Amino acid sequence: MSKIKISKIKGNVGAPIGFLVGGLYCGIKRKAKPDLTLIVSEVPAHAAGVFTQNQVHAAPVKVSKAHVKNGKAQAIVASSGCANACTGKKGLRDSEKMTQVTAKALGLKKEDVLVGSTGSIGTYLPMDNVVQGIQKLSKKISKAGGDSAAKGIMTTDIVPKSIAIKVKINGTVIKIGAIAKGSGMIRPNMATMFCFVTTDANVDKKYLQKALKNSVDQTFNRIDVDGDTSTNDTVFCLANGQAGNKVFKGGDAASKQFEQALNYVNLEMAKAIVLDGEGATKFVEFQVNGAKSKEDAFKVCESVVNSKLTKTSFYGENIASWGRILAAIGYSKAKINEDKIDLYYGNKKVVSKGISNGVSKSQIVSFLKKSYLTIRIELNVGKHSDKMMTCDLSHKYIDINV
């Protein structure tokens, strides 16, 4: 299938037809920075959600899993500064209250409100502040509130992350917008991250859930910063059908084009999370080719992007980095033959058939000094491939997390 033309447009989650959004400071964070976000569809929407694979689930994850089960929602309320995780029955009551207060302020049912929280684990939300914040924010949301909404979900992020695109499918213009947060506690199983996606496309609710899950597998489950998986990871998608297209149900060319557009949005947000990795100075993309199976390709990718020795060697621009990559390939539990492995730094082959290819130290250091590194691993034992993105680990990562 040919690629569709995707155009970036102004705005983010407020760009698609029929969405009102905003963010403000309500007093969860100690510093006066936005810590509450609200996204509302003006009409009922189909909804999908993908959540953390950590067995310890934060209260908002538990509540949202129940609310999104019927494939319908009309609003997302999210807070930052407190994860509301490991907070027991009180935490559950607080997340439910966030949905109840939002629903009352907007004239909705609480089941039509999805909730997310991110921040420190084990602390309770200051609910008086949160309630007042929701009530105030519900009166301030607008088409133009996307920037404040993006800032309202940030924690250790340095920059807000957002995007909006338009694409024409079967003659109808479809818009998709997104905001995301994430900087640390990131690994290829989702992360301490949010991504909230809005679209005016008309999408069957069962197909929307399937398309979102597949997209997450190809994007957010292909990034790593520090190898940790959070308790609060959440990706939502609201599709309100206001574009007026013939419903996307999956399996046809139009649905495939919608998937392309959705994947583009999520991949851009996944890249933005890696680029904003805590203390990161380099963006690194690993491509693994020639694996015996798809599972083996994934195992090798996951192993190398999660190698702390490799990541620190990138930061230190250490010539030993390629040896650490081969070690990570070896303990990945994938089926390999070390005598067949080729390793490329950019277009330069630094390892041939498992041993040094004689590339000079100065050439390796010159490559490692770049801010964007592309590294290709050729296993040469099969036909399967995979790709993941990561960053280096610096002294600043420790400073942020001590």
At the fourth CATH level, which superfamily is domain 7-275?
Answer: L-amino peptidase D-ALA esterase/amidase (3.60.70.12)
How buried is residue 385: exposed, middle or buried, by Cβ count under 10 Å (0-12/13-18/19+)? middle
Q: What is the pLDDT of residue 191?
A: 41
Which residues are known to be catalytic?
192
Token pair, residue 108, equals: 């909705």
Query: CA-CA distance, 156 to 259, in Å (whole number)?
Result: 30
Predicted TM-score of the model (pTM): 0.87
Closest CA to 113 of 96, 89, 94: 96
Q: State residue 222's pLDDT score.
A: 85
* pLDDT given at position 185: 46
Look at residue 320 in the predicted model and tell me its pLDDT. 77
Predicted local confidence at residue 97, as pLDDT = 98
Which tokens belong to 153? 């979900």
User: Which pLDDT score is estimated for 188?
Assistant: 44
Q: What angle do CA 336, 342, 344 make, to 5 degrees?
A: 135
Overall fold of domain 283-401: Ubiquitin-like (UB roll) (3.10.20)
DSSP string, 45-78: EEEEEEE---SS--HHHHHHHHHGGGSEEEEEEE
Exposed/middle/buried for 307, CB within 10 Å: 0-12, 13-18, 19+?
buried
Taking alpha carbons only, the member of 178, 172, 378, 393 closest to residue 270 is 178
Q: What tens-digit pLDDT sequence spans the chain (402 residues)?
A: 567 899 999 999 999 999 999 999 999 998 899 999 999 999 999 999 998 777 788 899 999 999 999 999 999 999 999 999 999 999 999 999 999 999 999 999 999 999 999 988 889 999 999 999 999 999 999 999 999 999 999 987 888 999 999 999 999 999 999 999 976 544 444 345 789 999 999 999 999 999 999 999 889 888 876 554 556 678 999 999 999 999 999 999 999 999 999 999 999 998 888 877 666 788 899 999 999 999 999 999 999 998 988 988 998 988 878 999 999 999 999 999 999 999 999 999 999 999 999 999 999 999 999 999 999 999 999 999 999 988 887 777 777 666
Reduced to 3 states (helix: H, G, I; strand: E, B; else coil), residue 199 is: strand
Question: Given this model, what pLDDT does residue 28 score?
Answer: 95
- Residue 120: the pLDDT is 84
* Token pair recorded at residue 7: 């155009």
**Domain residue extents for the chain:** 7-275, 283-401
